[in-house]
Amino acid sequence: MTKADLVDEIAQRTGLTKKDVADTVDEFLEAVSRALMEGKHIEIRGFGTFKVKDRKPRTARNPRTGDAVHVPPRKVPVFKVSKELKDRVAALTHGPTSAPQAHTTSV
């Protein structure tokens, strides 16, 4: 799903214009970006958490030459999905309950 697809779906469901929805989606994404650049984390209950993690410096290998390459420390944005959303997605695959049911037989 692209941003345009998302805008179309929200516009259809809400009755808002595509322009208004596109502006809102753009502002939301910009707000998330600004917060991450300031080192803040964003928690959206029932959806997930966006935050910035520190990556330590390390030595990697160039796959073509095998030479060692120093990778400096850096900050990377990460997203952690909420348990609620994870369970909702899992239910699509495993049905309403993900725990196997015990089978009983009567004689």
pLDDT, residue 94, reads 72
What domains can be seen in the chain, in order of their start residue?
3-94 (4.10.520.10)
pLDDT at 45: 96
Start-end of H helices in 38-103: 83-94
Phi and psi torsions of 24, nearest 5°: -65, -45
pLDDT in tens, the chain (107 residues): 999 999 999 999 999 999 999 999 999 999 999 999 999 999 999 999 999 999 999 999 999 999 999 999 999 999 999 999 999 999 988 765 545 444 444 44
Cα distance between residue 8 and residue 25, in whole Å: 11
Beta strands in 7-94, from DSSP E residues, in sequence order: 42-44, 48-55, 58-61, 68-71, 74-81
- Helix, strand and coil content of the chain, in percent to the nearest 5, comes to 40, 25, 35
